[in-house]
Structure 1
Amino acid sequence: MQSKDRHGPSRTRQADIARAAGVSQATVSMVLSGRTAARISEETRQRILALSGSLGYSANPAARRLAGGKNRILGVFTYEPTFPIAGLDQYYPFLLGIEAEAERLQQNLLLFTSAGGGVGRARSIYADGVNQLGIADGSILLGRGEDRDEVARLAHEGYPFVYIGRREISGAEISWVTADYERATYDVVTRLAELNHRRALYIGVSHPEEPNLDRFAGWERAVRDHGLETTAARPDPDAELSGLIREAVDAGATAVVIETPEDGARVFRAIRKLGLDVPDDLSVAVLGDMAIPRVRKHSWSGFGMPYGDIGTEAVRVLVELITDKSAGPKNVVLPCAPRPGRTIAQAPRRSRGDRPT
């Protein structure tokens, strides 16, 4: 005895089991949820369980959640494509950390790519005004280009979620886990100062978000503390960098600090185009892990990201939010690992305006 589902194949419902067992649907619900009351006899309980098996009953996860149950499912929603991961392989160690901790805590994972976006459209959590992540007890959000209005809405609805990366959302407090970009950047610039670099060029992204701003805050604090002469630029993504670097070198710069690893490859190309050697003519620091294989041979200097630890901590915070309804938003900042590398060296001895040869 099965009811027809107009959206797919036949599916047995609790009402079907109730009719077959000669009991109310409420009784079936109590038995199948494990909340058997004393007034339900053992014989009735066993009959309901037997019928649920023979009729092929499978609990609807969304319905269980609406009934107050926990599915032991954690969602992972990305605002950017996760597969393929070329050029964005920070997702891989993030997911490794998420998976390992979810398994340790006996939680299942469900990857959401987009609820209402569709091909060629921005990814969205909501479809027809409904939160499509609701099948999961809570979700981890990651990726750039998020819709901050819907993230705020998600927070106001009380849905448990954790963002990977610091996000300051207007009108809402949210949980996030991030790396200590400010401290790590400060340490990188301090090392340059200790190697007698007195003037440096900072190359940032054209539209900075919180992680970029945290890096820049560390840069500014170190520059101030060490009395360095600096230039900061935020060129367009497709801008030619050779002229910018040449101008800085002519003005006496002996080091370049790259704000994000994604810009690393084109900065190295621009330096090679100028005929400059790294690090003899110009030291280069990268504020994060570079994902471009052809640049890895440089063994770049800067710092490494705690990707796996961030993923692990995001799961821990999320499970806490799910299991403790009184828990408020939690923010976690994890240390980065220093990367000495081979692209930073003692500042070359030359006067401002001298061109390295």
Structure 2
Amino acid sequence: MYTPQTKFRAYIAFLISTLSIAGMATGCGAPQETKAAASTTMNVTHGETPLSVLYAGSMTHVMENDIRPAVNTTLHINLQGEGAGSAELAHMITGKVADPDVFISASPSVDTNDLMGNANGNAIRWYLTLASDQLVIAYSPHSRFRSKFQEAAQNKLPWYQVLATPGLRLGRTDPNLDPKGADTIVMMKLAEKLYHQPNLEQTLLGNDENPKQVYPEEDLIAQLTSGQMDAVIAYKHEAIEWHVPYISLPSAINLGDPADAQAYAKVAWQPKHGKPIIGAPILFTITIPNRAPHPAAAATFVRYMIHGQGHTMLMRDGFTATKIEVGGDEAAVPQSLLSTIQGKLS
């Protein structure tokens, strides 16, 4: 179960490991260089550039298994990363617990609401769209409700009726810490309208932080594959990389179709703190924070992720290509990345 105590212990562990790394660097660099961006122990060999990347927890598999070794070989970059809920990572940046070279979010709203502006210490000034995705219902092939899931996947049974089955265990992420968790609530609100089911969100999710359902982003797959969960609300790329079956949702509610952007925007969810989350197509973004210790290497990595082999790996992992658009101050984007921009987010 994902409780406040769990989050606190995770935060303390992160802080301790961060300070340990900083301590090793004391006395041999500027104060900024002593700040770590991730809880991973640095192991940089001669000739490699260290690069700290904080990324959406749903990207952990592709980042650790594909992109990390590839950038080491092709770019001679030693990528040190940490995956968690995007909003949670943003708070670590603004709280100066972490100073990453690159930040990858699962939603532009995290960039604009949690990192930009005076209230957030102007932690970032711009971001680029990286890839798009959609929500699906991933289910365990070993679940005792497997036959019902299969019927729903074949449109023989409404998916929401299956999720309402007594005893079925559904998992999702914390909407206050992770965009996917917030998108899950938005999706349910859209489903209420589409299916004319006014109490659907409450019936299927309970309260926003229902402790029986909410788990850290990086733990969801373990909950599903271990049999502790029958189904989880996931991004499509996660179901593909996990090799688990899933139920596709209509484009009117899956937040995956830019053509439905206006319809998505008709619903919103208010988190505990900050601005309301307005329904919008799911977009992953990438940026270089203002305090990045290695900005030149960071720009090289961002280009690799947008147009290079990194982008190819994302597509192979199940992400969907999207137009590369800039959010925020385009004049602040590194010169080497300007040619990649195909438009500006409104």
Q: TM-score range by the shorter chain?
A: 0.3 to 0.5
TM-score, normalisation: structure 1: 0.34
Q: Which has the higher contact order (CA 8 A, sep 6+)?
A: 2
